[in-house]
Amino acid sequence: MLERLKIRVYDILVETDDGELIDRVVAVILMLLILVNTAAVVLETVDDLNARFGSIFYAIEIVSITIFSIEYFCDCGLRRSTRATRSRFGAEFATLSP
């Protein structure tokens, strides 16, 4: 059962070209979260808005960092369990290192 869950999460997060609705929904949610987070960071620099909505901006940052961290660690864990991806990243890191 855990293996099926790993495959499904991998399919949603990494293999997004198969046209499934859930793939597109997750991609759109992540893009919207990036836009909302960017807008919050920019609006936070305006003193009047920060004084009025500072706690909301902070909450947006915490929620988005949490979601991005979960997505990142799921992606890293799934890629690590895939041999072909691991060797591809090994080759990329080898070319980037001095």
Backbone angles phi, psi at 46, to 5 degrees: -85, 120
pLDDT of residue 81: 56
**pLDDT less than 70: residues of the chain:** 15-17, 78-98
Only one residue has tokens 């072909």, namely 84
Distance CA(58)–CA(80), nearest Å, equals 32
C-alpha–C-alpha distance, residues 36 and 60, integer Å: 8
pTM flag (> 0.95): no
Domain boundaries defined on the chain: 2-96
Predicted confidence at residue 53, as pLDDT, reads 96
79 is written with which tokens? Answer: 């890629």
